[in-house]
Structure formats: C-alpha cells, structure tokens
Structure 1
Amino acid sequence: MKFSKPLCLSILLLFVSKINAQEFKLGKVSIAELEQKVHPKDSSAAAAVLYTRGKTRIEYDENDGFINLTDVETRIKIYKKEGYNWANKGVWYYNTSNLPEKVSFTDAYTYNLIDGKVEKVKLKSEGIFDEVVDKFRGRKKITMPNVKEGSVVEFRYTIRSPRDNTIREWDFQATIPINYSEFITYIPQYYVFNSRQKGYVFPKITSIKNSKSIVFRNKERSLSGGTGVASTSFSTSKLDYSEIQTTYLAVDFPAIKEEAYVNNIDNYVSSIQHELSMTNFPNSPMKTYSTDWNSVVTTIYNYDDFGPELNKTGYFEEDLKTLLGDKKNADEKIIAILNHVKSNVKWNNYTGYTCDNGVRKAYKEKTGNIADINLILTAMLRYAGLTANPVLVSTRSNGISFFPNRNAFDYVIAAVETPSGNVLLDASDKFSTPNVLPLRTLNWLGRLIRKDGSSEEVDLMPKKASNDIVFINYSIDPEGKVTGKTRRQFTDYNAMITRENIFSLKEEEYLEKLENENNKIEVSDYSKTNEKDLLMPITESYSFAGNNLCEVIGGKIYVSPMLFFTNEKNPFKQEVREYPVDFGYPFLDKYNIIIRIPEGFAVETLPKPAIINMEDNLGSFKFNIASDGSTLQLNIQHQINEAIVSTDQYDMLKEYYKGMIAKETEKIVLKRI
C-alpha cells in the first residue's frame, strides 16, 4: 500500500504532537510501570530511565546578578538486581570560596507494588550525604530506600550556580535505555552560546523567543531642604529583554553499549554541549570568548597561573647549571631534565592545566599538580636552550575535545621541537620516557601553545610499535605435563605497563598473579633485567610447569602450541561497530617457540602455515611451523600498525582477528609410535 505525501506528513505531525503532549509528573507513578517485568525494547536492560527532564535557566538575581539555575527530575525503573546502582545518584558541584555552587535533592521516593497496592517510601536525611571529589569539587549523593527488583524510583535536584557563563552537558543516552529525555535551556539575549551535539543518535530541537523583564528597586537617601532631616525614597525601573527557549527532545534512545577497545564510551554518548561565545550587556562593550582554538589557547596562556609561571626561572637556575654541566646535545639535556623533575617533584594526583601551588612552591615542597610539574619541566627545557612549549591535553577520562572551549582540556605536557619532530614529555609518571607518555594522555590530539600566542594541533597517538617479544622452550612428557622456560622482552609502552605492573606489587604477589592469569602454571627461577633503566627494554625470565596445558585423550596428546599465550576469544563480536577501535598504541607481538615432544610419540597433525594481511598496511599475522623429528619450531607474529582503527575498517579487523584466533587455537596432535 502507498501513502500520499500529505498523509505521511499528517501521520508524522500527529506522532510528534503526541510525543510533545506526554505528561510526566513526579508522584504519578502508574501500576503499569510497577508491573512491567522487562523493558519492552531491550529485554537485557537491568534498568531504564522512564523519563528525565532538565531545565537550565540563566536568570537575574537581585543580590548576585545573572546566575544559573538547573532543575532536573527523573524517574527510573529497576528490572534486575544489576540495576540497583541506578537507584543511587550523585551530582558534582564546585566547592570553592569564589565559586560556591549548591545542590539540593527533593521529591525523592521509591515505589513498589505490594499486594496490588502502590507502596511509597520517602528518602530520609540519612540517605543524603556529601563527599569530597577533589579540592575544588564536592558531590551530593543519594541512596534511595527499599529498592527491589520491580521498583520505580524518582527524584528531583536543583543546582544553583553563580556561574552565568556555563551550561552543563546533558546526556540523552546512558548504559540503560532512556524512554524520554527532555532538556530545555533559557538564555537571555545578552549571551551567545555555541551548542554542539555528539553521538550517533540526535534529539529533536525546537526554539521559541520569550519576552522577559527585570525590575530594579532603587533606594535613595537625601536631606530635605534646610532642616537637615534625612528622608528615603524608593523607585523602580524596568528592563525588557528577550530570551531564547530551546527544547531538545529524545524518545526511545537505546542503551549505549561498552565494546572492546573503546577509548572512553562517553565520547560517543548522544549529548548536547554549550560553550559561551559572546556576551553583550547594555551599556557595556561586547566581549568574545572561545570562538576558535587560537582564542581559547590565548586566553589560557594569559592566565596568571599558566603563561607567567613559565617565565620564572630563579628557583632552579643553580640546580640546572650543575645538572647540565657536561651535557653536550639536546637528547642528553632532555633526559637529564626529565629525570631531574621526575625525581624532585612528585605528582599529587590532581590534574589541570593551571598551577595549583605555583612552580616555585611546588619545586621547593617537592609536590604539585600536573601543571606545576610539567610547566616546571617546560621552563627548564627552555632555560637549557631548547625550543620547548606546553601542550594542552584532554585525558581519556575527560573525553575528546570536539570543539573550541577552555573546558576541553584538563592536562598539560611538554613538547620539544626538533628537526625530526616533536619530543613529547610528561614528568608526572616515573616510568614515562621521551615520546612514551602515560596512557591517560593518549587521546587523539593536543594543542601546542607558543610564546607568541600561536598554536597548532599535536598528534598524541604513538606511531612506533611497542614490542612484546616472547621466547618459549618447553617439553611435553607422555602424561601431558609441560615444563619449560620463557624469556619475554618489552619495549616502549609495553615496557612502561610492565614496569607499572611489577612495581605495583610485591614480587610474590606479582608471581601469584602471573601464575593465576596463565592457566595456573607454577613459576620458578624468576628474574628481570633493566627494570630501572627506562631507556632499555625490560626483560622477564622464568621457568614454568603445568599439568593442564595439554589434553590427553585416547592415548593422544592435544596441545595449543602457544600454551597460555594463545588468544582464544575474538574481542570484536558486534555485527556493526559504532565507535573507532582504540588500541592505544601500535604493537608487535612476536613468539619464537621450541617444543620437544615426548619419547615414543610422533606428530600426527600439525597446523598449516598461514599469513593474514589487512589492507592499507593496517596489520598482519604470520604463522610458521616446522618439524625436525622430536622437535617443533614455531614463529608467530601479530602486528597492528595503527593506534586507532576507524569504523570503516571494523569488518576487516573483525575477520582478521577471527582468522588469527582460529589459527592460534589449532591443536598439535601427538600419537604414540
């Protein structure tokens, strides 16, 4: 059957009008909502947001001028025990003397259906508490009472902020389905905000203009003629202005699913972000803000706790003269200065691109935040005659900086410009080396700022492969017990991660973890080299034994030749991949394996050699095996050449992993002779 265009349009308009006409009101929980056992469109959902509505209004306050008020009300259905955490809510707020925000919860109830009747339990004061997030922020949290499978919880919270220049990001997606999400902004004509959407599904947007006014109450005291008696007079004045009301509406948005090798799932959540672009108040000049990246970085560089800190050198000059006395070239200077800062200023676990203590105090007290440490590093590199500049970074947890704004960044590193390219440095991590940064910073692009205020993008993603080279020599006895030795060498990012793993545990704890993660092997004669020489590959060596590394069936021995190094599961299972695959860094895994088969046995079946190449030099897998009587020799190589793989290449990557895992899990079959 065919529909005419006018009829289709009528149906669409009717559908939209019904969506907009839906009435959601706190306290009006229905029996149907309580009776629902599973989500109608996602039976796997542990919970669902039945509706959530947020309103952000910039309005005038008699005492504080323009302020920001945000009201949010939410109703959530709990289907399974795994969804209980959705009955808790935390809202962060700034908690400093110059920026005191307030968060308050109201109308918070849990609803259950008991013997066909609705039971309503109110949130009590003991379920509301504050916690410290960091020295700048707190979090108001609630834990809803009497939550069960089938419960519906609802609550309202308000954020009152003296910041009239910020609108909080609103998410239309979560890791559970959201049936209805509405976000409304009310912005006076004096403000211009740039709005940006991200994600793969988008809300419907409508805007209208409202007439608003502010009434000012004036009080004047004066002396009446010649008597000296003071009198007070009152007057009012009125200012009319317009306000843009914008509504974002999302209906039946699916849960966003975690997938393997995703940088930060929040980067792909459907949301709306706002950044102040301009203000134009009556009787005041127009003021522009973050219109492009150059204006953003110029603003940041001119902060008192950023650019000026780079000009301070007196506190370290004597130390640096001694340190650099015999250093002849740039590489030697870079390493010496990097190690000096790492040894003398410890990270206090606070991020940020502006100084907390200030470079002088941080150096003296030997502790500071990221900006304190890496601006000290940058200043020292400049003092040593190197072309060094700070690079603004958004960490993985902060998300990708999609558009120009000061809040896009939460971190700063140093870069030294050399004829062969930038050398990126971070002195906050004791295991980092030149161009091997902490994993938290590997987040696509950073922004380098020069003294003259110019800036440019810096690719943070590594190009050089990090190696994991494994040598295994093992024997199989007639009962299938395996004994052997392993030597494993790591470079670059693999080396940094290995050092972090080794030094985070006592040796016996580390070895116990090594045994448990590798099919319950027994490890002995463990040793390591270059664990403290960061510029060298780190190497681990150990002997191992295992009774469950082979299968003995019907007098035959079945063994996966890579033993506990075998990749057994394909991490890429989705039919369609919506997000890029983020490996973090390119890598090369290489295995050289020698197997001695037991006396009285011969090879019945060997896996065949194989080569799998991906297009565009994305990666390759090579599997070679040779038999020499009682000895088998294998050479296996798995290489990925790009840190980030686009969604367009996902099908190819998925098939590559499928073929690789099929080959790695093929068994060698040994039979008695």
Structure 2
Amino acid sequence: MSEQQHFNSIYMKNALLSLLFSFCCLQLFADGQTILPNLKFGKPTMEELTMTTYAPDSNATAVVLCKLTNVSYKWGIESFRLFYEYKVKIKILKPEGTSYANVTIPYYELQNNTMKENIIGLNASAYNMENGKMVRTKMKKDMVFKESVNENQMQLKFSIPQVKVGTLIEYEYRLESDFFFSIDSWKAQSDIPTLYTEYDVTIPEYFKFNTEMHGAETLKSTNEATSFSLSIGGQLLQCSGTHLNFQGVQLPALKDDSYVWCLDDYCTQVNLELLGIDFPGTLYQSFTKSWEQIDESLLKDTDFGSRLKMNNPLKEEMAALHLEQMKETDEKICAIYTLLKNKVRWNEKYSLYGKAPKQILKEGTGSNADINFILISMLKDAGIPAYPAVMSRRNMGIIPYSHPSLQKLNTFVVAIAHTDTTLVYLDGSIEDGYLSVLPPVLMTDRARIIAPDNRSQWVNLTAIGTNQLRSVVKADISPEGVIAGTRETLYAGQYASRLRNKFRTAKDSTDFVSKLASEENVQVKALRMDGRSLFSPQVREFMEFEKQSTVNDQFIYINPLIFLHVSESPFKQSERKLPVEFPYADQLSLTVNLTIPEGYAVDEKPESQRIQTGDEKVFCRYTITQQGNQISLRYLFRLQKLLFLHTDYSELQQLWEMMAKKNNEMMVLKKL
C-alpha cells in the first residue's frame, strides 16, 4: 500500500468519548423533576450523589450527566497538531450500569512513521455516599493498560474502582494528534441517555472544513468568527478562525437492535470534512475528490490496482478443469470458484487491499479481498470479465454519494460478466451461498464497480438473486389427533444459504435433525436433502413427520398451518425512533393438504384473510378451503421493501401482529 494510502487509513478512527470543560451550570426539567447537571468536575453535587433514577428514562442502567469535548489547533515542533480535551460524568443507576466504569480509548501510532497520537493527563474517580458522607476513590496507575490492536492502532483501557449502584464516575484526559488534517466525528448520543453534551471546536483560517450534522435529535449550534493566537518558534502569530459549538440536552439512549444494520447511520452527530488547506504564500491544496478520482487512486494503488493486473497463480490447476468443454458461463464460474475455495479458506476478515497471492496460497487462508483478487485473475484467464465492486459493509455505515471518501470503503465483492448485459456477484467469504447469493452484510445498495477507462458505475446489491421458499405438506389426521405426513420444500437463494449454514455449524446430522424437530415442534421420522453440499442455487428437502395435536373429549384442536411462518411479532416496542431495515427481499409459499379422520367434521376453522401494507410492499395471503374430508390451505408471504422509516412503524407492527395471530389460529374437529 502506498504511503498516502497508509495515511488515509488512519482517518477511519472510532469516535472517542466526547466531553468539553465548561464553567457554568444548567437547569433542566424532566417529568416535573429538576435535574441540575453540574459541569464542574471534582465537585459532585448532593443531587448527583443521591440520584436513584433518571425520570425521562426510568429503565436506564446509567445516565451520562455531562459529556464534553473541546478541539483546538496548536503549533507543534514543525507543523500543526490537534488537541482534544475530554471530560465525562456518568451516574450508575442499576447493576448492569457498572460496565461503564470500564473504558477503552482507541488511538493511532503508525509503525515506521513519526506521526502518532498521545494520551496524557488521564484522571478518573468514583464517588460514593457512605454513612451520609461522600467518599472519593481515585483510579491508580495500575488500573491503566495499553495494548496493540494492529500495526497502526493502539488502545488504552482503564477500570475505575469501587463502582456500584449509586456511584458517580468522572474521568478526563487529553489526546494530542499529529493528524491535524482529520477531526474525529463527534457523536452526541450513546447507548445510555445523555442529560447534557457539548462539542466545542476552534479552527484557524488556514483549514477549510465542511460541517455536516445529522440524526433525529436536535442540537443547538453556533458558528462564529473568532481570533486565533498561535505560538510558532517563540513568536506569537495572530490570525482569524472559526468557532463552532454544539449542545445537546436530554438526548435519549440510542440502542442497537437486530433491525438496524449500522447504528451510527442514525446517531445524532457532527462530522467535519476537510475541504482544503490554504497556508499563506502557498497554493491552495484541495482535499476534496470525486468518485472518479478515487477510482483512479485505487487503480494505481500497489495493493489494489496492481493485484487486478496479476497473472493467474493457479493456471496449471485450472487447466485440469477443462473449462472449454463447459457450455454455460455459470458452470465455468462455479468450477473456478470451487477450485479456489479448495485452495484458500476465508479467515473471517474483510479487507479492501490484498496481500501477495503466493503468500495466501502458501498459508491456505486469507481475507475476502485476498481471495477475490485471485478469483478475478482466474476469471480473466478464462476469458470472463470480472471487476471489483467496492463498498462499505452494511454494518459499517452508508457511503455518501455527495461526499466521496476513500476512507468509507472497507471491502469489495467480485462483479462477473455472466452475459453481455448481466452481472453476477461472488465473494471470497461465501461458505454457503452461490452466484449472487452474498452474505447479507455485503448486500449494500451502494457498491461501486471499479473499471478502467472511466467505466466505473454504481450498483445496488440489495435485490440480486431470488430468495424463495416453497413448501408442500400432505398429511392425515388420526382420531387420536396425530398428524402424520410429508413435507417437500424447495429452498432458493438466502433460504438455501441459511439451511446449509445450519447444517454446517451443527455438531453432526443427528444434532441438525434434533434442532429441526425442536424448531418445528414435530417428530422427524425421515429426512433427505438434495444439493445441501453442492455449490448450487437450490436445496431440496423431503421430510416425513408426525405431530401431536390437542385432543379434548369430542374435539381435536389443530393448527392447519402445521409449520408456522411467524409464531410471534418481533416488533414489540410501543413506539420506535429508528427505522426498520430488513436484510433482503424474500418470498415464502406454503401449501397444506390435510385429510380429516372418519367420523369427524370441521366445527370451526380460520377464515381466509389478506394482509398488506398500504404500498403493498409487504403482503400476506391466507386462504383455507374444504372439500369433503379434505382441507386445503395456501399461505403466501412476500416482502419487497427493505427500509421502513419510523413513521411507518405502527403500520408494520400492526401487520406483523396480524400475521402472527393468523399463524396461530386453530381449527376444531368435532366427533360426529
């Protein structure tokens, strides 16, 4: 990787805990309770020490009473440096909240380079009330540790002692950074509520930044001109500058859940992007780039562009595949990928840049990028055009179209020309998928295919492939209430991938069958799966099963669906501020044919029903009919929309509750 790329990689820093020192007091009101966040550190108030609950969020395990950050520029020995001052005060309210006394601070220290960051002035204390008096416990140095994360990143860890329910903790530190051209993103919210937070930044006139605020919560902000004094070589230099200030009051906790890919995308925050540097007597240096310039930069990079030009390292092994005898392109692609995956195992790491192929093949393991670069060389050698489609993984945040940023990219998949007009996608991390059946974390709506001669383009990977489950059940009901029959199921796309993953991660086939029986609440009498171990688009399953229904006097109670789609709604929150993000579009079709026993008649049965959202992007149809002693049920579910805003939550919640209710409805058979 080039030196510039190494420098660029440091800008992907995790946001640090935010705090700025202020010498004033603020009075807030929450549910009629007066809360006084004392912004002076080292002198907790009696209200802070005796506080037992946080009125706006009675379930909070802890609350940030104040979180303050100050950022300023100073002149170092030869260049500017960034100085961050952090202060934070947290009240522990429940046993689970004691974990906030364990703090990790990431920082950078580039190997083979003088550029680094230093953490100094760390102080931390715990305050407790004992026998009516305040007791302060200071953290000692032996509670502070440093450790290496990778060749460029370090982290400092510390644990504040004597922390329990009722403890008030405070800590503060300074971070000095040589990376003056990159100001850390500032996040106003965390996973516990915040009573007061403030972000104060002073920037000299030589640095031109674009300021971006986003998130659901409101911040009070000011942007004003200010004077700036710099001490350079013992001489005082006066210049103008910009003073930015952001304040947040009574911000709610931002808690992650399974229906949000990246919580940071919705966190109230401030991002400062460097546009350029304008030093006196020098030409203006622009730091803004277009996506076309980023394409060019990647194609010139040693560990990216050069890897795209390398020769096929498995040329001899590939010759034994006899690709010339294969008629279909997808057959050739599958043969090449299967050969490669037999040579290199994914190490469960994602990357944008690749290592030398000889090293990867020798070790037999590599990142998805390492495997993808070799795959591209093999495909090109077979005459099949292939290109990298760079992206930010869905759990790493959205790529902004309007603010091109190399630092936002963290991996890529392989876009392969299936025909002259269609593409399929593969990735070295695939263990259970197929062509265009990627791990959902890679199915982003913003991937950029990097191609020479200005042929790069944006592609949406959320709708690639077909994810479908079709199941047909035929069963007889005995007078004893035993349902015995067969289920034939076709799994395609993500459904096939999930089934293969369950089988691969089970201890053995017996464990897999046991879990299947438990999940479906049936006895599995026989099970056969076709295509389970193949690199193929589908898996077919044949199951013989029995299930005991409830028998009471003259009645048999049966759920005619037998194999439920939705047993209960996952959307239990009364209200929601975050959107709902589904991993992929899918379709499920269930057909059930039941024969009722002689001497019995249907006393009650569910009614047919159609359920859907207003835009019909989520659709469910339940159709049940009877002809003689035969009961036929058709159940169809279709999801075609992946993002639902918080304003759509109540409709989505109602739909899922209706589906769950329908899935659980019973049919009653009465003895004649």
**Is the CA contact (8 Å cut-off) linking 2:436 and 2:465 kept in structure 1?**
no
Residue deviations 1:219-239 (CA, integer Å, cap 9, x gap): xxxxxxxxxxxxxxxxx5555
After TM superposition, list the pairs within 5 Å mapping 1:85-234 onto structure 2. Answer: 85-97=99-111, 98=113, 100-103=116-119, 106-134=122-150, 136-217=152-233
Distance 1:16 1:294 in 2: 50
Residue deviations 1:85-114 (CA, integer Å, cap 9, x gap): 223222223354135444457221222222
**Is the CA contact (8 Å cut-off) linking 2:37 and 2:65 kept in structure 1?**
no
Equivalent position to 1:244, from 227, 234, 242 = 242
- Counterpart of 1:6 in structure 2 is none
Say if 2:437 is the partner of 1:446.
Answer: no
Distance 1:512 1:632 in 2: 29
Q: CA deviation at 1:564?
A: 4.9
In the alignment of these two chains, the number of paired residues is: 635
Q: Are residues 283 and 365 of structure 1, via their aligned partners in 2, closer, same or farther at CA, if it must alter by over 3 Å?
A: farther
After TM superposition, list the pairs within 5 Å mapping 1:285-364 onto structure 2. Answer: 285-313=283-311, 315-320=313-318, 323=321, 324-328=323-327, 330-355=329-354, 357-364=355-362
After TM superposition, list the pairs within 5 Å mapping 1:646-665 onto structure 2. Answer: 646-647=645-646, 649-665=648-664
Aligned partner of residue 513 in structure 2, secondary structure: helix
Q: Are residues 598 and 84 of structure 1, via their aligned partners in 2, closer, same or farther at CA, if it must alter by over 3 Å?
A: farther
- Counterpart of 1:671 in structure 2 is 670
**Is the CA contact (8 Å cut-off) linking 1:260 and 1:571 kept in structure 2?**
no
Residue deviations 1:365-422 (CA, integer Å, cap 9, x gap): 4332232222332333334333332111111221112342222111111213444333
Q: CA deviation at 1:179?
A: 0.8
- Counterpart of 2:44 in structure 1 is 29
Aligned partner of residue 162 in structure 2, secondary structure: coil
Say if 2:73 is the partner of 1:72.
Answer: no
Percentage identity across paired residues of the two chains: 28
Equivalent position to 1:509, from 496, 508, 511 = 511
Say if 2:456 is the partner of 1:491.
Answer: no
Q: CA RMSD in A?
A: 3.0
After TM superposition, list the pairs within 5 Å mapping 1:416-427 onto structure 2. Answer: 416-417=416-417, 418-427=419-428
Q: Are residues 130 and 432 of structure 1, via their aligned partners in 2, closer, same or farther at CA, if it must alter by over 3 Å?
A: farther
**Is the CA contact (8 Å cut-off) linking 1:69 and 1:161 kept in structure 2?**
yes
- Counterpart of 2:254 in structure 1 is 256
Aligned partner of residue 457 in structure 1, secondary structure: strand
Distance 2:380 2:425 in 1: 14
Q: CA deviation at 1:325?
A: 4.1
Aligned partner of residue 495 in structure 1, secondary structure: helix
**Is the CA contact (8 Å cut-off) linking 1:604 and 1:671 kept in structure 2?**
yes
- Counterpart of 1:626 in structure 2 is 625
Distance 1:353 1:474 in 2: 52
- Counterpart of 1:413 in structure 2 is 413
- Counterpart of 1:8 in structure 2 is none
Q: CA deviation at 1:299?
A: 3.0
Amino acid at match of 1:62: I
TM-score, normalized by length of structure 1?
0.86
Aligned partner of residue 512 in structure 2, secondary structure: helix
Distance 1:96 1:524 in 2: 60
Aligned partner of residue 565 in structure 1, secondary structure: coil
Aligned partner of residue 665 in structure 2, secondary structure: coil
- Counterpart of 1:644 in structure 2 is 643
Distance 1:512 1:153 in 2: 49
Aligned partner of residue 350 in structure 2, secondary structure: coil
Q: CA deviation at 1:178?
A: 0.8
- Counterpart of 2:369 in structure 1 is 371
- Counterpart of 1:232 in structure 2 is none
- Counterpart of 2:13 in structure 1 is none
Structure 2 residue ranges without an equivalent (≥5): 1-23, 29-35
Distance 2:480 2:101 in 1: 54
Residue deviations 1:256-303 (CA, integer Å, cap 9, x gap): 244562222222111122332222334443322234333333333332
Structure 1 residue ranges without an equivalent (≥5): 1-14, 218-235
- Counterpart of 2:540 in structure 1 is 539
Say if 2:95 is the partner of 1:81.
Answer: yes
TM-score, normalized by length of structure 2?
0.86
Q: CA deviation at 1:475?
A: 4.5
Residue deviations 1:449-490 (CA, integer Å, cap 9, x gap): 221355322112125441122333445455545544433331
Distance 1:320 1:155 in 2: 60
Q: Are residues 350 and 51 of structure 1, via their aligned partners in 2, closer, same or farther at CA, if it must alter by over 3 Å?
A: same
Larger displacement relative to structure 2 (385-394 or 594-603)? 594-603
- Counterpart of 1:38 in structure 2 is 53
Q: Are residues 259 and 346 of structure 1, via their aligned partners in 2, closer, same or farther at CA, if it must alter by over 3 Å?
A: closer
Q: CA deviation at 1:604?
A: 0.7
Aligned partner of residue 261 in structure 1, secondary structure: coil
Aligned partner of residue 361 in structure 1, secondary structure: helix
